């Protein structure tokens, strides 16, 4: 008879090795499942066979009673649901004990975005011809022009880019690959960097395949990209705390939507597995429309 703790370890291994989820996602799922096991242990339940459907419902209810945010409760529910489905697949339980339970509703939190003029200011803050400016401009153009995640930007390698075709191949969550168009400005900025500056940062190391390198010749880290972006934002007169690589990814999506792009095309370019994730940008665009109306329409003050 398996213990719940050993099943939880096997579950985390499957998330990492079989499903290919990121370490951060596996860690979050594991944390939520361990909280569930602690709740069960307090009830004297340590094996899958001892579980009842009421245990799951009571655990979700306890999260709600603790005053946690809806997004936190929803994430914990998903983790527990996946764990229970895993137990059923391994025949540790006779049925999936989460079936029929409603997931806590997530609060709609609109992503932070910049207006197009502000985004352009940040891009133009790296307008020089020196190696660092060429590198930073290419990085900024790809973040905004392709909607890349910061991890995707850091992992880009030389063979991932077809500059003439203006496309880039990136590896997203779960190591899923996708092809994203760059656009002319991003492609030009990248070609200038590769032709005139990358060798300076590579420091003669022909075996290094990552595209974007630091002054020490090492691939960029997430924090290194954050630091570069915020320095460029400050130089452009933009509050550095209002920007991040993910804000530029949000700007990519909302600006495409504002200019008439199809929502499913945006989903493909962002690498979202679900159209529901992409649809949050329709709310952002609606909010922008409302702001424009309230600002410029002569009778907006009379709207009910």
Residues annotated as catalytic (active site), given as ranges: 149, 173, 246, 249, 272, 281
**φ and ψ at residue 180, rounded to 5 degrees:** -125, 130
CA distances from 102 to 66, 93, 205 (A): 18, 20, 55
Q: Which two tokens stand for residue 164?
A: 């003439």
As a three-state string, the secondary structure of 64-100 is HHCCCCHHHHHHHHHHHHHHHHHHHHCCCCCCCCCCC
Q: Which two tokens stand for residue 250?
A: 């949000």
From the centroid of its chain, how far is CA 145?
16
| Ordered alpha helix ranges (H), 14-69 | 23-41, 53-65
Contacts of 136-139 spanning 24+ positions with Cβ under 8 A: 136/228, 136/232, 137/189, 137/192, 137/193, 138/186, 138/189, 138/190, 138/192, 138/193, 138/194, 138/212, 139/212, 139/220, 139/225, 139/228
Cα gap 249→111, rounded to integer Å: 10
As a three-state string, the secondary structure of 109-169 is CCCCCCCHHHHHHHHHCCCCCCHHHHHHHHHHHHHHHHCCCHHHHHHCEHHHEECCCCEEE
């Amino acid at each position: 008879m398996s213990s719940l703790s050993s099943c939880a370890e096997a579950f985390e291994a499957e998330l990492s090795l079989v499903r290919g989820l990121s370490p951060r996602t596996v860690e979050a799922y594991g944390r939520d499942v361990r909280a569930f096991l602690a709740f069960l242990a307090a009830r004297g339940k340590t094996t899958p066979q001892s579980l009842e459907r009421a245990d799951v419902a009571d655990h979700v209810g306890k999260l709600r009673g603790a005053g946690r945010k809806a997004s936190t409760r929803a994430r914990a529910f998903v983790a527990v649901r996946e764990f229970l489905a895993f137990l059923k697949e391994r025949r540790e339980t006779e049925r999936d004990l989460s079936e029929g339970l409603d997931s806590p509703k997530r609060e709609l939190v609109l992503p932070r975005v910049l207006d197009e003029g502000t985004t352009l200011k940040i891009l133009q803050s790296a307008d020089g011809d020196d190696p660092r400016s060429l590198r930073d401009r290419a990085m900024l153009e790809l973040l905004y022009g392709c909607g890349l995640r910061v991890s995707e930007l850091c992992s880009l390698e030389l063979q991932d880019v077809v500059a003439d075709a203006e496309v880039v191949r990136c590896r997203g969550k779960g190591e899923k690959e996708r092809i994203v168009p760059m656009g002319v400005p991003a492609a030009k900025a990248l070609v200038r960097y590769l032709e005139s500056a990358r060798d300076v940062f590579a420091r003669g190391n022909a075996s290094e395949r990552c595209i974007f390198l630091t002054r020490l010749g090492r691939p960029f880290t997430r924090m290194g990209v954050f630091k570069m972006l915020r320095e460029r934002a400050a130089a452009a007169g933009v509050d550095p705390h209002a920007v991040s690589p993910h804000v530029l990814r949000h700007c990519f999506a909302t600006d495409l939507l504002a200019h008439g792009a199809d929502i499913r095309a945006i989903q493909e370019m962002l690498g979202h597995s679900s159209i529901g994730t992409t649809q949050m940008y329709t709310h952002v665009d609606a909010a922008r429309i409302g702001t424009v109306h309230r600002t410029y329409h002569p009778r907006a003050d009379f709207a009910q």
